[in-house]
Structure 1
Amino acid sequence: MRDPMQALATCFEQVAFFFPSGNPRLQESFERRARYLDSRNYPREELVDTLKAYHRFLGANKETLQMIDELRRNETLVVITGQQAGILTGPLYTLYKAMTIIRLAEEQRKRLGRPVVPVFWIASEDHDWIEIHKTFFLNYKGKPFPCSLPGDGEEGKSVGILPVPSWEAIELQLLQLPDGEFRDLVLQHCRRFLNQAENLAQWFALTLQWLLKKWGLILFDPLLPEFKRLAAPMYEQILKLHSSVREALFRRTEAWTKLGFSAQIQPLGGEVNLFLANPERRAILNQGHSYYLRGQDKILDNDVLPMLLRKNPGMFSPNVVTRPIVQEFLFPTLAYVPGPGELNYWAQLGEVFLSFGFIMPILFPRLSAVIVTPSWQKSLSKEGLTLADVYQGLDGYKERCIRDRDSLDIEHRIQQLRSVIEKGYKELGPLEDIHANVHDWIIRNEMKVNLQIEYLRKKLWQAQRKKYGAVLEGLRVLEDGITPNKGRQERILNPLYFVTLFGEGFVDRIAELPLTGDFCEQKILL
């Protein structure tokens, strides 16, 4: 399968049809998009009033409240991204996404000469408990360990409304963090946010807001009743146009896969592309002139859903196909910042946007980075390794390290012993004349001796590894830091691990990264 990230960065003209607002690396794309947005109307007053009330509850600073106030002005545009409400912000890439919209908004504010503000859409409506219930840190030995929410979640319920755990359950796990200079401060903040939050979405919002407070990031929680009411007209449109939307998605997906890309969204059939929470969040499906919920047999008449929508829009939420549509309806979206997986499914949505009379926003790839601490830098330099070497895995290199330090020629000496024994057993050949069974006895005895020699060989190498255990441990620490759990650092480790070691200034280092617009991984040398 082709890589959409590479296509977007190196041969945009080949995929331009799927990204109609233009190449994210060209300023003219942003200028053209801004002119298009000026022809649209948005519920700015209601949106701003609700955002201000929400951020006052969060304890937002004046920088954020000022950004929100700017949204009242018709010329103000938005750079937006989104992510599920992972505990303690979730993995590093959540922070990278947020910093990308902050930096891109700052850049376009200057280039367009008009207000552009960053908005982070908390995907609190999602019900993927497995995705958000765990995050990873490194302990004092540099080994990954999980910090997990207790329990198994509540099946089918949006994770954003689930209650926060007790601080004791979280603190017990976080005490495995190394005793860095800022650990106590980080734990104090985490405890305060958890005690203030009423649900997981608020806990996520409070934590992310703290890390990015100086940049005025605006947070959006679609589960808030006021936002649900604002989105209700679009939910109604989604219900009316579900058939057209399915066809539009099918056509664009077919065209995308014909170019050799994989389809991230795989419809099962009959999707209305809305969920109904009653109380579990279930997909609404269409069958002829009636509706039903996935996993249930009960048929809903045509007038039931519109009636429910008018009465209680909070019961409805969009799915992966229509969430971007609701976003486009609510916000004057100059650009959306996706991760690599999102980029793939957004490519399937261009005609879906057209079904509602919208044009898909510019897609600007998020920052991608790998953090290299001073101790990891030292290990790389000392061993003559590159990050590419670490990504390929160090098992082979570790084995070579041990063998290169073998000054006593273990393998040579063992082989000499084998040769002597083999020669000795050959010299026993004349003894076979004693009895017909002597030949078999000699063979079996030689096999037993060779097994003992192999055992000895393994024990010698085991002792050699133990002798140079510090070298192997250093390589293990390096590997667990750069590729924790054999995965990409930005997808596994929680940013608070680095804050405990380097303080809030660590976030400033992320803010210094240049915007490349191509998912190119950059190094952050601490």
Structure 2
Amino acid sequence: MPSDCISFQSSGYFTPLITDYLNQKENLKPLYNRFPTLQNFKQQIQEKQQNYSSDSRSVLINALEKQYTGFNATEATKHNLDLLKQENTFTITTGHQLNLFTGPLYFLYKIVSTINLSKQLSETYPEYNFVPVYWMATEDHDFDEINYFNFKDKKISWNRESTGPVGRLSTLGLKAVLEVFEKELGPGNNAAWLKELFREAYIKHSNLADATRYLANEIFGKNGLVIIDGDNANLKKMFAPHVKEELLNQTSHTKVAETADNLTDYNIQVNPREINLFYIEDSIRERIILQDGVYYVNNTEVKFSEAQILALLETNPEKFSPNVIMRPLYEEVILPNLCYIGGGGELAYWLELKSYFESAGVTFPMLLLRNSVLIATEKQAEKLDRLNLSWADVFMKQDKLVNKKTVEFSELSLDFSEQREFLQQQFAKLHAMATKTDATFGGAVKAQETKQLKGLDNLEKKLRRAEKQNHADKLERITEIQNELFPGRSLQERKANFSQFYLEYDGKLIDKLFSSLKPLEHDFNIVVL
């Protein structure tokens, strides 16, 4: 069975910005506080301890207790909620959208990474407590990004209109989605469990935030996961001074734009707006725009003077929603957090924010790339063995993989480099002769060289095509197994839903993830079920 260790950097699925961050390149060090190593957490704890007040902790605890009212929190989660009351307790946090039925697999990987890191820190620093937190992105309004999940080859969608924050969205209409899902699941105990999980989450809860809390609690509650909803008036009140600063001075735009100017060698993840806040109500989440001293709510007739909008902030802070630029600051203001765990795209925009945090006087968290996983069956692993494929092979782009294996299978040399070099040497001699004659002869030599090298390239391509045809059966089996492991030639974790693996492997998937994922190691995990 293949047993390669695939590093994030060599997997081919991360941007230059993220690979340079993982390699701790000097040019990126000003963009983060501390790199996430076990030893560095000690200083991070000390800094956050000085920067997080007991008053903030009290507001957080009261908000969480209210949010858990009516939910059957596990003993492990209740214990962690109690621990959060203590000054020596800190959080490890991940965040994610409210994807239907968890959405893609990496939802699980984020949370397992968060829980496993919390455990590891508890063992290393027993004088402190560490609580895993899942931040629900309840205020997002990109409904089209979350209203479906893929079960095997079928896209199961929730088709309806949505304009406001998705967490407040009614779950009416999801019974029809369940009926479609049930038909796809078929009979059996595991299918029955999945059906009941969907029913209890989405049919018995009135909004998407509560449904997602129930779902995450059912899957991870026994591991002590604490789930938080930032769409909360008291938590927003704690954040209000930073909202006021944004409204009056637009500091986030200035600071993030300065950082972006230093990242011109990379593709910038997000660009700041002048004001990085939304105005929200149940059916609206629209940008706040400042023009000529007046604050307008985009796409509406709502507008405020400076005095009016500051008065609204004082009385109704819940009507202000931070966007992707300000939400990280909001999280770190209300949580005693040490580390944020996210995907490559998330870390890319976090790396734009450190100077903004410094200007706000808030500790910048450590940034950890979440675990990534490729799930394979034993049969698939055995097939890779028979085809003499390594895990590194299947991570290659398919055309490169096919070319590599064609060369391995062929008894002929498919590389004409030697012939190309010989040809270039001969023409070099002709060019030397041309310099002693006239320009027309030199031009003729150059044209002939180009023609013959191109002809050699064509011959090489024709030979490769012929050899691919000769080994078509083997190459087809190779592409078939790669397509199984990388659906749509993309990462499995971005496409598949956990339910298709649970259906066949019962609880083994979650247990295997907890035993396999090591958050502080930067390797792509291969999990064989």
Question: Shorter-chain TM-score: what band?
Answer: 0.7 to 0.9
Out of 225, 234, 238, the position equivalent to 1:217 is 225
Alignment match, 1:263: 268
From 128, 132, 139, the equivalent of 1:118 is 132
Residue in 2 aligned with 1:192? Answer: 200
Deviations 1:132-187 (A, max 9, x none): 1111121xxxxx21111122x313x1111111233232231343236565122221
3-state secondary structure, aligned to 1:116: strand
Select which of 379, 383, 386 maps to 2:383.
Answer: 379
Letter of the 1:187 partner, please give it: K
Give the equivalent residue in structure 1 for 2:91: 78
1:406-425 alignment runs, 5 A limit: none
Q: Residues 263 and 395 of structure 1: is their aligned pair in 2 closer, same or farther, counting only changes over 3 Å?
A: closer
Do 2:98 and 2:137's aligned partners in 1 also have CA atoms closer than 8 Å? yes
Alignment partners' CA distance in 2, 1:204 and 1:90 = 11
Closer, same or farther: CA 52–12 of 1 in aligned 2, 3 Å: farther
Distance in 2 (alpha carbons) for counterparts of 1:199 and 1:482: 35
Compared CA separation, residues 400 and 79, structure 1 to 2 (3 A): closer
Contact 1:9–1:518 (CA under 8 A) maintained in structure 2 = no
Distance 1:397 1:116 in 2: 44
- Matched residue of 1:124: which SS? coil
Instruction: Assess if the C-alpha contact under 8 Å between 1:379 and 1:475 holds in 2.
Output: no
Aligned to 1:58, what secondary structure does the other structure show? Answer: coil
Determine whether 1:169 maps to 2:148. Answer: no
Q: Is the 8 A contact 2:89 2:129 kept in 1?
A: yes
Flag the 1:77–1:166 CA change in 2: closer, same or farther, 3 A.
same
Question: Partners of 1:194 and 1:129 in 2: how far apart?
Answer: 16
Which is higher, the Rg of structure 1 or of structure 2? 1
Distance 1:26 1:10, change over 3 A: farther
What residue number does 2:297 align with? 293
1:302-336 CA distances to partner (integer Å, 9 max, x unpaired)? Answer: 12211222222222110111111111110111111
Check the 8 A contact 1:5/1:518 in 2, yes or no.
Answer: no
Contact 2:322 2:330 in 1 (8 A): yes
Unaligned 5+ segments in structure 1 are 139-143, 402-464
Please state whether the residue corresponding to 1:364 is helix, strand or coil.
strand
C-alpha contact 2:38 2:121 (8 A) present in aligned 1? no
Question: What residue number does 1:460 align with?
Answer: none
Structure 2 partner of 1:146: 155
TM-score, structure 1 normalization: 0.78
Which ranges of structure 2 fall in alignment gaps of 5 or more residues?
A: 1-13, 406-471
Counterpart Cα distance in 2 of 1:246 and 1:496: 41
How has the CA–CA distance of structure 1 residues 387 and 123 changed in structure 2, closer, same or farther, with 3 Å as cutoff?
same
Residue 275 of structure 1 aligns with an amino acid whose one-letter code is F
Which amino acid in the other structure matches residue 84 of structure 1? Answer: Q
**Matching residue of 1:238:** 246
2:257–2:271 contact (8 Å) kept in structure 1: no
The separation in 1 between residues aligned to 2:394 and 2:196, in whole angstroms, is: 35
Match of 2:101 in 1: 88
Change (3 A) 1:253 1:298: same
Q: What is the Cα deviation at residue 110 of structure 1? A: 2.2
State the shift of 1:274 in Å.
Answer: 0.9
* Partner-residue secondary structure (3-state), 2:85: coil
Change (3 A) 1:116 1:396: closer
Residues 317/379 of structure 1: CA separation in 2 closer, same or farther (3 Å cut): same
Q: Deviations over 1:236-271 (max 9, x none)?
A: 3432342x22111111111122xx22211123x5x2
Q: What letter is aligned with 1:510?
A: L
CA–CA distance in structure 1, aligned partners of residues 92 and 404 of structure 2:
49
Contact 2:191–2:503 (8 Å) recurs in 1: yes
1:49 paired to 2:52:
no
| Residue 494 (1) aligns with residue 501 (2) | no
- What is the alpha-carbon distance in structure 2 between the residues aligned to residue 385 and residue 181 of structure 1? 35
1:23-51 superposed Cα distances (whole Å, 9 cap, x missing partner): 11251x21111111121215222321321
In the alignment, the residues of structure 1 paired with residue 475 and residue 192 of structure 2 have an alpha-carbon distance, to the nearest angstrom, of 31
Percent identity between the two aligned chains: 26
* Shift in alpha-carbon separation, 1:516–1:119, aligned structure 2, 3 A: closer
Candidates 35, 45, 48, aligned match of 1:34: 45
Q: For structure 1, which segment, 511-520 or 191-200, has the greater mean C-alpha deviation from structure 2 after superposition?
A: 511-520
Does the CA-based 8 Å contact 1:499-1:506 persist in structure 2?
yes
1:188-209 Cα offsets, whole Å, 9 max, x none, are 2221222222112222221122
1:168 is aligned with what amino acid?
A
Q: Distance in 2 between matches of 1:381 and 1:192?
A: 42
CA-CA distance at 1:57 after TM superposition: 2.3
How far apart, CA to CA, are the structure 1 residues paired with 2:373 and 2:404? 29
Q: Does residue 130 of structure 2 align to residue 130 of structure 1?
A: no
Aligned-residue CA RMSD (Å):
3.1
Cross-structure match for 2:415 = none
Q: 2:34 matched to 1:25?
A: no
Equivalent residue, structure 1, for 2:527: 524
From 323, 327, 332, the equivalent of 2:331 is 327
Structure-2 change in CA distance of 1:299 and 1:227 (3 Å): closer
Q: Which ranges of 4 or more aligned residues in structure 1 deviate by more than 6 Å?
A: 395-401, 474-477
Does the 8 Å CA contact 2:122/2:128 hold for their aligned counterparts? yes
Contact 2:76 2:224 survives alignment (8 Å): yes
**Alpha-carbon distance between aligned partners in 2 of 1:73 and 1:277, rounded to the nearest angstrom:** 33
Q: Distance in 1 between matches of 2:515 and 2:338?
A: 22
Matched residues in 1 for 2:88 and 2:230: separation?
A: 24
Q: CA 1:99 to 1:396, structure 2 compared with 1: closer, same or farther past 3 Å?
A: closer
The 5 A counterparts of 1:374-523 are 374-392=378-396, 478-517=481-520, 519-523=522-526
Q: What SS does the corresponding residue of 1:207 show, helix, strand or coil?
A: helix
| Amino acid paired to 1:202 | D
- Whole-Å separation in 2 of the counterparts to 1:237 and 1:63: 39
CA contact (8 A) 2:156 2:177 kept: no
Shift of 1:478: 3.5
Given the two structures, how large is their TM-score scaled by the length of structure 2? Answer: 0.78
Q: Distance in 1 between matches of 2:266 and 2:31?
A: 12
Shift in alpha-carbon separation, 1:81–1:475, aligned structure 2, 3 A:
same
The yes-or-no answer on 1:109 pairing with 2:119 is: no
State whether structure 2 residue 232 is matched by structure 1 residue 254.
Answer: no
SS at match of 1:126: coil
> 2: CA distance between counterparts of 1:471 and 1:179?
36
